[in-house]
């Protein structure tokens, strides 16, 4: 018998870990056993500058177990050398209970936990992700230790909804899927790299971001993506082989510069400043190249809220304009002026607005974000938008579409600053209206005074003439 041992003390036979865990046993003709392991296998542990794999060995006919540690020097990879596995692997087991992130369903067996590449705690019968690792099921799982900032304020750049799943006084733990939170993807010589950036977000500060920034990368070879495909689809909605082979399915939200939707504001111009009461042209789409032409989008609910989250405004409800919006500033549009059943691009207009500051009652100058819940499916009927174009007379037509899929993804855009044209705000508009009113009053008063003087002059002239005649 030749079981391997993790830091929690759980012993798993190597024969149950072959193929999916990166380890293998070869029986030689001379009855010797050769143990082979990848440096990023399930049981590999980094100790100083060496990769260590703990094993237990039992000789035939003996009751005693011998612990054997197999170690190899950790070879640094040159910058131009392709990776053979996830960059953050092997990660670590033995994570303290407060920082553990559950892996798999409740009550998962040690064998199933090991197959997922996770750590099994035999004492508590729990399965948790390796910390600081690119998991086999396609997740970033990493910790951020900080002392001078609040770990709970850390978020993924551009996606304030992507927060730590675990947060203590000095540590934040993130679990981010490679298809989530605007993860950037790069491919080079068969190696797929995913990258996210973590930064500190001040919810009640006018400053945009603090100087704190951390970039985290995961690298997967083709074999790693194939293993991930066996554990779970990298797409929550569909799992055709071409999609898994190409990597991630990325949704994007953009704002066009005009109604033609031919030119869009680049990300490096964020936060984007838009004038109030003007139309913003919003597009939600599958980022090219699309992994599967049969996929289609259906925009369901869209909303906006400021950074402080003191308010929220519904832009679209069930794919239609907000029924409580008397201005009817949001409505679905597309290239042909109608809503098509099958489309990987959905567009709608938003008449820009401002939230009111709950303290002052004046328009808030906070940054805000747009969000949309989007359904992805392969059935044309299921993905038909339930609301067509608003006609000129303002009537809205709704079609009841039976929806079979409950797979939704959240896409966002921001930050945005919505302001009055120039430096003029709502208060400036009121001042201008007051000034115009005063000018009008002065003009009317002047005209009335002139008429009064004219009448007085005529009266005096008539009296003088009458006196002379008399």
The residues near 229 (Cβ < 8 Å, ≥ 6 apart) are 239, 244
Q: Check whether residue 370 and residue 324 sit in a common domain.
A: yes
Q: Check whether residue 367 and residue 260 sit in a common domain.
A: yes
Q: Which domain holds residue 143?
A: 3-225
Q: Check whether residue 204 and residue 253 sit in a common domain.
A: no
Closest Cα to residue 89, out of 182, 217, 213, 206? 217
The span from the CA of 246 to the CA of 149, in Å, is 38
CATH assignment of the domain containing 351:
2.60.40.4100
Mean pLDDT computed over 80-99 = 58
For residue range 305-337, what is the model confidence (pLDDT) as tens digits? 887 767 777 888 777 777 766 665 555 555 444
Mean pLDDT computed over 83-100 = 63
Give the pTM: 0.38
With respect to residue 239, please indicate whether it lies within any of the assigned structural domains: no
The span from the CA of 93 to the CA of 52, in Å, is 13
Q: Are 139 and 228 a contacting pair, CB within 8 Å?
A: no
Domain tally, the chain: 3
Q: Check whether residue 90 and residue 203 sit in a common domain.
A: yes
With respect to residue 233, please indicate whether it lies within any of the assigned structural domains: no
Q: What is the DSSP string of 4-60?
A: EE-TT--EEEGGGTBTTSSEEEEE-TTS-EEEEE-TTSTT-EEETTEEEEEEEE--T
Closest Cα to residue 101, out of 85, 123, 121? 121
For residue range 10-69, what is the model confidence (pLDDT) as tens digits? 666 766 665 556 677 777 666 677 777 766 676 777 776 677 777 777 777 777 777 777
**Range 63-69 contact pairs with CB under 8 angstroms and sequence separation of 24 or more:** 67/5
Average pLDDT in the chain: 70
For residue range 269-299, what is the model confidence (pLDDT) as tens digits? 888 888 877 888 899 888 877 767 778 888 8
The span from the CA of 285 to the CA of 298, in Å, is 10
Q: Read off the pLDDT band of 231 (50, 70, 90).
A: very low
The span from the CA of 182 to the CA of 180, in Å, is 6
Q: Read off the pLDDT band of 85 (50, 70, 90).
A: very low
With respect to residue 235, please indicate whether it lies within any of the assigned structural domains: no
């Amino acid at each position: 018998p030749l079981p391997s041992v993790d830091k929690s003390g759980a012993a798993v036979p190597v024969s149950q870990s072959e193929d999916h865990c990166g380890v293998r046993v070869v029986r030689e003709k001379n009855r010797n056993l050769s143990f082979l392991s990848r440096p990023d296998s399930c049981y590999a542990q980094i100790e100083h500058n060496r990769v260590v794999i703990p094993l237990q060995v039992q000789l035939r006919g003996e009751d005693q177990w011998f612990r054997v540690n197999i170690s190899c020097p950790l070879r640094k990879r040159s910058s131009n050398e392709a990776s053979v596995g996830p960059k953050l692997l092997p990660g670590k087991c033995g994570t303290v209970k407060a920082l553990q992130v559950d892996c798999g369903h409740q009550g998962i067996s040690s064998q199933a936990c090991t197959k997922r590449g996770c750590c099994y705690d035999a004492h508590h019968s729990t399965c948790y992700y390796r910390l600081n690792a690119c998991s086999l099921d396609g997740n970033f799982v990493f910790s951020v230790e900080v002392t001078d900032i609040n770990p709970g304020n850390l978020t993924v750049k551009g996606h304030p909804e992507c927060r730590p799943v675990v947060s203590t006084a000095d540590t934040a733990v993130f679990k981010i899927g490679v298809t989530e939170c605007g993860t950037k993807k790069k491919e080079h010589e068969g190696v797929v790299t995913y990258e996210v950036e973590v930064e500190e977000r001040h919810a009640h500060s006018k400053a945009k971001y603090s100087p704190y920034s951390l970039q985290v990368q995961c690298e997967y070879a083709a074999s790693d993506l194939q293993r991930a495909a066996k554990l779970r689809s990298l797409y929550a909605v569909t799992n055709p082989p071409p999609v898994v082979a190409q990597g991630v399915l990325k949704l994007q939200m953009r704002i066009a510069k005009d109604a033609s939707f031919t030119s869009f504001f680049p990300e490096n111009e964020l936060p984007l400043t838009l004038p109030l009461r003007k139309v913003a042209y919003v597009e939600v789409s599958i980022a090219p190249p699309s992994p599967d032409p049969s996929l289609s989008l259906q925009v369901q609910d869209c909303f906006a809220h400021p950074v402080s989250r003191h308010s929220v405004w519904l832009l679209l409800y069930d794919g239609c304009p907000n029924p409580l919006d008397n201005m009817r500033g949001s409505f679905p549009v597309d290239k042909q002026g109608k809503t098509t059943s099958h489309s990987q691009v959905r567009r709608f207009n938003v008449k820009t607005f401002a939230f009111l500051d709950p303290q002052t009652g004046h328009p808030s100058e906070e940054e805000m974000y747009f969000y949309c819940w989007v359904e992805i499916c392969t059935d044309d009927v299921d993905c038909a938008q339930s609301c067509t174009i608003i006609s000129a007379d303002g009537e809205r037509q709704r079609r009841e579409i039976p929806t079979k899929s409950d797979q939704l993804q959240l896409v966002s855009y921001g930050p945005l600053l919505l302001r009055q044209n120039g430096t003029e705000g709502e208060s400036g508009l009121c001042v201008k209206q007051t000034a115009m009113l005063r000018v009008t009053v002065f003009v009317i008063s002047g005209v009335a005074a002139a008429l009064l003087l004219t009448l007085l002059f005529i009266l005096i002239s008539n009296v003088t003439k009458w006196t002379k005649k008399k």
